[in-house]
Amino acid sequence: MTQRVTDEQARILADGDYEPVVQIGIGTTINVAHLASDLLAARAEIASLRATLAAVCRAGETLMLDVDKHSTGAFLSADDLYDAIAAAGGASSEQPIQVKGAEMKRLIEETEDDGFSPLMGEVVTLLCANYFYTGKLVGVNADFVELEDPAIVYETGEWTAKEYKDVQALGCKTLRVRVAAIEAYGIIK
C-alpha cells in the first residue's frame, strides 16, 4: 500500500503556523493538523515495532508485547506479527510471540451430557417463554424433547410447595416441545 501523505507533507501540516480545519456535514469539524500529528506518531511507532521485531528475529528471542504499554499490540493480531517478522527477515510462522496482559483463564469442562439425557424417565418441568410444561421426559433429540402425560402449569403457587397450584393435563399421551423455546428446565416438583 502506498502512502497517500508523505511524512514531509504530514510534518508541514502538523508543524504549520495555522491549523487547517475541514468541515464535514453540519457542526462536524476535523483538525487536519491533529490528524497529521497522529499519523506521524503512528508511523514512528510502527517503525519502532519493526526495528524491535528485526532485532528479536536476529537474536532468536521470544517477543513480549505489553498491550498496556504499546497501543499497537492491542490492534495487531498474531498473524500480523508473524507477517511483520517475516518482512523483517525473521523466522517462519513458528516464531514465538507472547502477548503480555492478554492472558485470560477460562473454565473448560467437557462432558458427554447434552443436558437432557440424564433426566430421561424423570418428571421434569420445562420453563418456556409462554408456558411451563411438566411431564415424564421420554425423548430427546437436537430439536425437540418429548414429554409423556404432559400438563401445562398455569399457576405455580409457592415454589417450595410439593405440588403446583394450578396444573392441567393436556389430554394427550405425548407432547413435543421445541428445545429452542425452553429457557430453563429441571426436576422441580
In the chain, CATH 2.30.30.100 covers 117-186
Q: pLDDT per residue over 53-79, tens digit each?
A: 767 666 665 555 544 444 444 445 555
Instruction: Give the whole-angstrom CA distance, residue 151 versus residue 15.
Output: 78
Residue 83 is predicted with a pLDDT of 62
Dihedral sign of CA atoms 85, 88, 92, 94 in order: negative
Q: pLDDT per residue over 85-133, tens digit each?
A: 566 555 544 545 555 555 666 666 666 666 788 899 999 999 998 999 9
Domain 117-186 has CATH 2.30.30.100: yes
| 164 class by beta-carbon count within 10 Å (0-12 exposed, 13-18 middle, 19+ buried) | buried
Task: Give the helix/strand (H/E) hosting 29.
Answer: strand 28-31
Instruction: Give the whole-angstrom CA distance, residue 147 versus residue 187.
Output: 13
Dihedral sign of CA atoms 71, 74, 80, 83 in order: positive
